[in-house]
Amino acid sequence: MGKHDKKTGKGRLDKFYKLAKEQGYRARSAFKLIHLNRKYDLLSKARCAIDLCAAPGGWLQVAEKYMPKGSLIVGVDLNPIRPLPHVSTFVSDITTPHCRQQLKQHLHDWKADLVMHDGAPNVGSAWVQDAFTQNELVLQSLKLATEFLAKDGNFVTKVFRSQDYNALLWVFGQLFKTVEATKPPSSRNVSAEIFVVCQGFMAPKHIDPKFLDPKHVFKDIAPLPTSITGASSDSTAQASSSQLPQPNSHAHANVFMPEKKRRAREGYADGDYTLFHKARAEDFIRGTDPVSLLGTLNQIEFVSDEEKGWLKSRHTTSDVVANFADLKVLGKGDFKLLMKWRLAIRLEYGIDVKADQTADVTEEVVVEPLDEEEQISEEMKRMAEAKTNRQKKDRKRANEKKARELLKLQLNMTAPTDLDDEDRALAGGEEMFDLGEGERDAKRKGVKDIHDQLEDEDGMSDEDDEATTTLDDEDDQVLDLEDEREAKLHGLEDQLDGLYDEYKERMAVRDAKWKVKQARMKDRNFDAWHGIQEGGSDSEDEKSRKKVFRMGKEVIEEDEQDSEEGGWDKVAARKAADGDELDSSDEESDEELQPIKKVKTGVRFEQVAGPSRHTRPTTSGLVTTLRETQDRATLSRQAQLWFDQSVFKGMGDLAALDGPEESGKSEDEDMDEDEDIDMDESEDQDDVENEEDDEEDEDLDFEIVPQEPEDDGPTWDVDDEDQDEVKRKIIKEKGLLTAEAVSLATALVNREKTVNQLVDEGFNRLSTFNKDGLPSWFLDDESKYYKANIPITKEAVAALRDRQRALDARPIKKVAEAKARKKFKAVQRLEKARKKADGVMEAEDLNEGEKARQVGKMIGRAHGKDKKAQKKLVVAKGVNRGVKGRPRGVKGKYKIVDARMRKEVRAEKRIKKASKKRH
Ligand SMILES: C[S@@+](CC[C@H](N)C(=O)[O-])C[C@H]1O[C@@H](n2cnc3c(N)ncnc32)[C@H](O)[C@@H]1O
């Protein structure tokens, strides 16, 4: 594995590597046999199996697992195989008689039901050579199989796709009833290996030794013409185009994309044992496929007089000569130069005839004027075409409109069907945003509208427009209108984004917790696992701190949030309780009360475009100004609830909307944003489905385990590997931080789920959310709802809560500081006492006993065992009142004091201390 990059190609630690590790298989290749067994049921009925080239023992483990208990399993390899239960192994080279002998000994007189061969020679030489040795090994294993297999036994072998492949299949076909080649899903696409399953050994009495002799089986291999191998320079004089290497599929790509390195997976030409190829300039100039030559050769040389003459041409620069000397190092530009040179030489030496020489013979076509009748029919034809085009366009537009209406209905975005006529008129016929009105408002305020701006940019005035617009330009007009509408929509979106930003700022000022909430939302943004966050500006510590902060409260908070945000029913219920009172100035309460409906896909979208609820008619001028409600009682209950939302606040008389003059623009724009989103969503889903279908189609071979798309495009786990590392580090340092993570981990440990299942669950529509081009208000909202609902367990929450409690129980900073101060003072006291004690010890006038007593006193005092401090004050009240002698329950020194006296003494002390501070 060492020589491969661990992230790409062969070295990639893919899911089978991980699975093998997880399931205790010694090699990833174990899954190849598992897949082959699933398809051909090779193991369940086999009582005796031989594994040729078995180290480290992955196939043996699988055989032991799937074969009946008590079966005989023998493995052999050049390398020793660590012991495995119920399996006998030995070290030997399968191409030697020693191996044959050993096999005989291990098998006694048994015949094998299955012979497996997954051998790979020590690769590293030329690819062709590798393939050849591999196939020799295959033939050798077949030889052993024919000797040890029982009649109707099976033989499985790995073969490299190469020139010998067909020859091998032919031999297998002579000895077995059925022969099938297959590539199990666990075999990497980048690998040229393929597995051949031969079933029903015919056990012929006599096998022609030629069948098993590589010299005979692979005898078609012919040496390559010397001129191409470039072994000797003089031989090249005989080179002709027929001897040139056959252009392979990579040749052209080598020229057009030389920077991309390609492998010769299909192998090299027969007998082509060298990597250096050269040809003559003549072949390049006169040949029919010069690009292939450039893509396959290393050098082009000039040998004959004619070729040397080309070297003297004015077109032959020093660059051209240098490029021909080493074709393998050239870039795209260099190849272009050589192709141009070829063209120039062909023209110069008359090999090509220039195209313009043919111009003289071109026929001159005279266009005669049409007569009147023809003109009329021409005109009619043109008009008919224009008419059908128009009709087509109308039909298309009508269909689109219908589809949009249908979508609205499906998403429950039109008013409920039980609305009365006025409501329906409002829902279906009127627009929430009236651009015309909005523009007029904006103009009144002196704001230049988008249309004007566009005109200014074009440098065209209205008059110019009029002058250039004719009645015939109907189609152009339609297009202009659409452009205009689009520009307006863009402008509207920009304004909405701006308003949303303003709203966020206002919220940030008003709500101290807003930032925390936002940060938390950012943390969890679309992170289906949302165990650990990725990227972002926050430092690792900050992130984990947030999570620690979260873990205790998150679950409860989320519950609260849910109950706050609720669904339509809850909002309806709350509104019913609140009556018709709505405070349009309080955006926060508006937000909480926004009704939310579930769409079919399970993703929740807000019923009214998000920013509209923050849009005030006074600032934006984009909302239709409606007259005040006059007769709300006529509305149905649901309609009232719907129009009671803050977005409709300030809109006037609903009945007035009946008037045709109020209908500003088509419904198209009303739905545009929501529609876009839904379409994206469905497109995403389609993609996923298509991909799944594709995979299924590709994998007809193995249905049970879908083929991993190893080569095709970026795969999900490549980028995630670093993130995984970061996550692992955090988990190691801080443990699992969310209830979801703990729940998942517990499920894994208890084997309720496998890693594989978890990974599979990660691939869902939530993980393929395309955020491109979506407005921030929408994404902010989506982050609340568009996430995987990972179930959490009581135990997980309890465990996290306990941990949080333990954290909370840690002393706060002040207490820790006080303790440290106390400790420091104690140390100082001890130090002082020690110095004094030294003085006492040096005093000559004291005897030893005296010294010891004094030193003990000092040390005791330093430890705070001052006698004075130990004296207990006992207040003479209650049972102690009037007591003479030691009060009950009091040990050590004591002093009986009067309650009032104690208070007074303390008050005095306090006053003294306070006055000291003031001075
Ligand atoms: C891909 S590994 C086999 C892996 C095995 N099927 C498993 O699942 O663990 C190929 C093995 O072929 C062995 N091999 C190559 N040439 C051999 C030979 N001539 N005789 C015996 N073993 C050979 C190598 O030593 C190597 O261990």
Atom 13 of ligand 1: nearest residue by CA position: 53
How far is ligand 1, taken at its centre, from the CA of residue 582, in Å? 78
Tell me if 590 is assigned to a ligand binding site.
no
Average pLDDT over residues 51-78: 94
Residue appearing with tokens 């769409």: 599
Is the C-beta atom of 98 inside 6 A of ligand 1?
no
CB count in 10 Å sphere of residue 482: 11
Is the C-beta atom of 91 inside 6 A of ligand 1?
no
Cβ-count burial of 402 within 10 angstroms (0-12 exposed, 13-18 middle, 19+ buried)?
exposed
Residue 260 pLDDT: 57
C-alpha 213: how far from its chain's center? 51
Tell me if 760 is assigned to a ligand binding site.
no
Is the C-beta atom of 94 inside 6 A of ligand 1?
yes
Closest CA to 432 of 408, 448, 406: 408
Cβ-count burial of 569 within 10 angstroms (0-12 exposed, 13-18 middle, 19+ buried)?
exposed
How far is ligand 1, taken at its centre, from the CA of residue 115, in Å? 14
How far is ligand 1, taken at its centre, from the CA of residue 910, in Å? 91
Residue 421 pLDDT: 43
Is the C-beta atom of 59 inside 6 A of ligand 1?
yes
Average pLDDT over residues 802-809: 83
Q: Classify domain 9-217 by CATH architecture.
A: 3-Layer(aba) Sandwich (3.40)
Instruction: Name the amino acid, one letter, at 715.
Output: T
Residue 207 pLDDT: 86
How far is ligand 1, taken at its centre, from the CA of residue 144, in Å? 15
Residue 42 pLDDT: 94
Q: What would the pLDDT profile of 503-526 be if each residue is shown by its tens digit? A: 888 877 777 677 677 666 655 544
Average pLDDT of the residues of the chain: 68
How far is ligand 1, taken at its centre, from the CA of residue 119, in Å? 4
Q: What would the pLDDT profile of 592-612 be if each residue is shown by its tens digit? A: 333 333 333 333 333 333 333
Tell me if 59 is assigned to a ligand binding site.
yes
Is the C-beta atom of 54 inside 6 A of ligand 1?
yes
Is the C-beta atom of 79 inside 6 A of ligand 1?
yes
Pick the more confident residue, 274 or 416: 274
Atom 25 of ligand 1: nearest residue by CA position: 78
Q: For a ligand 1 pocket test, name from 53, 64, 114, 188 the mutation site with the most ligand atoms within 8 angstroms of its C-beta.
A: 53
Atom 27 of ligand 1: nearest residue by CA position: 55
| Position 410 confidence tier, pLDDT thresholds 50, 70, 90 | low
Q: For a ligand 1 pocket test, name from 78, 87, 143 the mutation site with the most ligand atoms within 8 angstroms of its C-beta.
A: 78
Is the C-beta atom of 419 inside 6 A of ligand 1?
no
Element of type H or E holding 344: helix 332-348
776-779 long-range contacts, CB within 8 A, separation 24+: 776/497, 776/500, 776/501, 777/496, 777/497, 777/500, 777/610, 777/611, 778/610, 778/673, 778/677, 779/525
Residue 608 pLDDT: 36
Q: Is pLDDT of 153 > 70?
A: yes
Pick the more confident residue, 41 or 445: 41
CA-CA-CA-CA torsion sign (435, 437, 442, 443): positive
Q: What would the pLDDT profile of 857-889 be if each residue is shown by its tens digit? A: 888 888 776 555 567 778 877 777 777 788 878
Task: Supply angle C-alpha 655, 656, 659, rounded to 5.
Answer: 115
Q: Where are the beta strands (DSSP E) in 433-555?
A: none
Phi-psi category of 733—alpha, beta or left, where left has phi over 0 and alpha has psi -120 to 50?
Answer: alpha
How far is ligand 1, taken at its centre, from the CA of residue 29, in Å? 11
- Token representation of residue 63: 């055989």
Average pLDDT over residues 367-388: 73
Q: What would the pLDDT profile of 632-673 be if each residue is shown by its tens digit? A: 444 444 555 555 555 555 444 443 444 333 333 334 444 343
Residue 480 pLDDT: 59
Strand partners, 160: 193
Strand partners, 598: 604
Is the C-beta atom of 121 inside 6 A of ligand 1?
yes
Cβ-count burial of 584 within 10 angstroms (0-12 exposed, 13-18 middle, 19+ buried)?
middle
| ipTM greater than cut 0.95 | yes
| Position 591 confidence tier, pLDDT thresholds 50, 70, 90 | very low
How far is ligand 1, taken at its centre, from the CA of residue 77, in Å? 6
CA distance 777 to 612: 10
Is the C-beta atom of 159 inside 6 A of ligand 1?
no
- Beta-carbon contacts of residue 37 (< 8 Å; ≥ 6 apart): 43, 44, 62, 66
Residue 866 pLDDT: 54
Residue 807 pLDDT: 80
Pick the more confident residue, 258 or 748: 748
CA distance 573 to 567: 10
CA dihedral 138, 143, 148, 153 (to 10 degrees): 60
CA distance 747 to 754: 8
Q: Is pLDDT of 574 > 60?
A: no
Closest CA to 854 of 812, 682, 864, 843: 843
CA distance 132 to 121: 10
Our separate counts of H helices and E strands in the chain read 36, 13
Pick the more confident residue, 90 or 212: 90
Identity of the highest mean pLDDT range in 320-329, 497-506, 513-522, 676-685: 320-329
Instruction: Name the amino acid, one letter, at 121.
Output: P
Pick the more confident residue, 534 or 896: 896
Classify strands 88-91 and 596-598 as parallel, antiparallel or unpaired: unpaired
423-428 long-range contacts, CB within 8 A, separation 24+: 423/635, 423/636, 423/639, 423/654, 425/657, 425/658, 426/643, 426/654, 426/657, 428/667
| H-assigned helices in 109-259 | 127-148, 165-175, 214-217, 226-229, 249-256
C-alpha 582: how far from its chain's center? 44
Contact present, 294 and 328 (Cβ < 8 Å): no
Q: Is pLDDT of 60 > 50?
A: yes
Atom 18 of ligand 1: nearest residue by CA position: 93
SS3 state at 154: strand
Average pLDDT over residues 22-41: 92
- In this structure, of 410-414, 759-763, 802-806, the range with the lowest mean pLDDT score is 410-414
**How crowded is the C-beta side of 663, counted as CA atoms within 13 Å?**
12
| Position 66 confidence tier, pLDDT thresholds 50, 70, 90 | very high
Instruction: State the DSSP code for 431.
Output: -
Average pLDDT over residues 432-437: 43
CB count in 10 Å sphere of residue 532: 24
| Position 219 confidence tier, pLDDT thresholds 50, 70, 90 | low
Q: What would the pLDDT profile of 225-272 be if each residue is shown by its tens digit? A: 333 333 333 333 333 333 344 444 456 666 666 655 555 554 555 555
Pick the more confident residue, 721 or 793: 793
Pick the more confident residue, 255 or 72: 72
Exactly one of 15, 32, 143, 158 is catalytic; name it: 158
- Token representation of residue 429: 């016929």
CA-CA distances (angstroms) from residue 658 to 424, 494, 624, 631? 10, 31, 14, 14
| Position 688 confidence tier, pLDDT thresholds 50, 70, 90 | very low
Residue 526 pLDDT: 41
Tell me if 514 is assigned to a ligand binding site.
no
Tell me if 780 is assigned to a ligand binding site.
no
- Token representation of residue 484: 């205009």
Is the C-beta atom of 30 inside 6 A of ligand 1?
yes
Residue 698 pLDDT: 39
Q: Is pLDDT of 329 > 60?
A: yes
CB count in 10 Å sphere of residue 792: 20
What is the 3 state secondary structure string of 785-799? HCCCCCCCCHHHHHH
Q: Known catalytic residue: 158?
A: yes
Residue 681 pLDDT: 37
Atom 15 of ligand 1: nearest residue by CA position: 121
CA distance 183 to 31: 12
